[in-house]
Amino acid sequence: MTKVLLSIHVLAAIIAIGPVTIAASMFPAATRHALAAPDRDPAVLRTLHRICRVYAVAGIAVPVFGLATASGLGVLGDTWLILSIVLTAVAAAVLTLLVLPRQNAVLTGLAAHEEPDRKAPARLAMYTGMFNLLWAAVTVLMIVRPGSTTGA
């Protein structure tokens, strides 16, 4: 059963987290292009934002199946796993509190034909980079597992 849970956990991470990291990373550049265009068509931005929102919800499966896997393996108290859980929570917070609201603010501003915040793309790029680095750290911890006796 642990192998099934681990497989679902890894697949969920690839299928759910991958699209969020890519779409969120593309959003700042697409924002720059939209702000520079005279017609400011936000269609690409809306699509990227929707991908981020939908896959963020789907991404909840990653820690759920991760915890189930960790429980089955008996590693819930291991330092590397606790650190991974904390980093995952911080990544989720960055996404839900910093990235998604700012993406939404850009879309709202474009729809209302407001004067754009020219620093918005840079801020979004910074927050998205933080989100991506947090997930990279979690991935490394999942592979390396410091203190593991498996030889990995």
Angle, helix 79-94 to helix 61-73, in steps of 10 degrees = 170
Specify the 3-state DSSP secondary structure of 150.
Answer: coil
Assigned token pair, 36: 């520079």
SS percent in the chain: helix, strand, coil, step 5: 80, 0, 20
| CA distance linking residue 89 with residue 104, whole number of Å | 21
Token pair recorded at residue 6: 């681990």
The answer to whether the CB of 134 falls within 8 A of the CB of 91 is: yes
Encode pLDDT of 66-119 as tens digits.
999 999 989 899 999 999 999 999 999 999 999 999 999 999 998 888 877 889
Residue 63 tokens, joined = 């820690």
pLDDT tens track for 3-53: 999 999 999 999 999 999 999 999 999 999 988 887 778 999 999 999 999
pLDDT attached to residue 44? 94
Taking alpha carbons only, the member of 65, 56, 66, 133 closest to residue 97 is 56
